[in-house]
Amino acid sequence: MENIIKKELFGMQDLKYRDFHKKLIPGVDPDRIIGIRTPDLRKFAKKIKNEACAQSFLTELPHTFYEENNLHGFLIEQIRDYDRCIDELNRFLPYIDNWATCDGIRPKCFGKNTDRLYMEIEKWLSDSHTYTVRFGIEMLMTFYLDEKYDRKYPERVSRIISSEYYVNMMIAWYFATALAKQWESIIPFLEENQLPVWVHNKTIQKAVESYRITEEQKLYLRSLKRK
C-alpha cells in the first residue's frame, strides 16, 4: 500500500518547487523532500481519505519522505470521529520533525470538541518532544483566543520554558496573535516581564509586523522592548 502512495507522490513531483521549499525547512534532509505543492497534496489526501490504501498508510510509521509525513497529517485532520482523530494524532506527533509538518495539521473535528481537547493540549504542552509542544501551543492559538478564551490559557503558555527555537517561536507567535485578539488581557504579560527576554522581544517584533495591531499599540509595544 505504501508503494502505491509513494508512486502517486512522485507523480506530483515539482523539482523547481523542491529546490525552493527545501530552503524553508533547513532541518530536513533535502534527500527526503520530493517537492510537492501543498494544495496538490491536500487534494490528494481528500481523494484517497476513504480508500484502503489511506487507512493502511496511517499504520506505516515512520515514513521516509517529508511529503509522506505531510500527507499523514492531512489525512488525520479529515477524520471526523474525535476519539479516533486523537488516537491517530498521538501516534503520529512523535514522528514530526519540522515546523511545516507540525503547523499544517488542523483537525476539523477539534472545533466542536474544545472542552475535551484542552485535556489533550495539557499533555502535549508537558511533552518532551519539540513539535508535540509546538502543536499544543498552536491548538491553543487556533481554538482558544476567541469565544473560548480564558486567561488561564496564556498563563499556561507563559510557564513553558524551553531552549528549543521552534517552541519559543511558537510561544511568541501565540502571544503576538493573542495581543491582536485580547489586548487588555495579554499586554500585562509584557508589561510585567512574564516571558523570557528572547520570547518577549520576538512577541513584540511579530506583533508590530501585524496589520491587526493599531499604530498606537505598536508604538507602545516598541517602548516595552527589553535588553
Say if residues 207 and 213 touch (Cβ distance below 8 Å): yes
Dist CA 102 CA 219 (whole Å): 33
pLDDT digits (tens, 9 = 90+) for 201-214: 999 999 999 999 99
Is it the case that residue 110 has pLDDT exceeding 80? Answer: yes
For residues 141-147, give the mean pLDDT.
97
Residue 167 has pLDDT above 80, yes or no: yes
Mean pLDDT of the chain: 96
Tell me the per-residue pLDDT of 111-129, one tens digit each, with 9 for 90 and over: 999 999 999 999 999 999 9
d(C-alpha 224, C-alpha 46), whole Å: 46
22: three-class secondary structure by DSSP: coil
pLDDT tens for each residue of 10-43: 999 999 999 999 999 999 999 999 999 999 999 9
Helix and strand tally (H, E) in the chain? 14, 0
Quote the CA–CA distance of 59 and 87 in Å, as a whole number.
Answer: 12
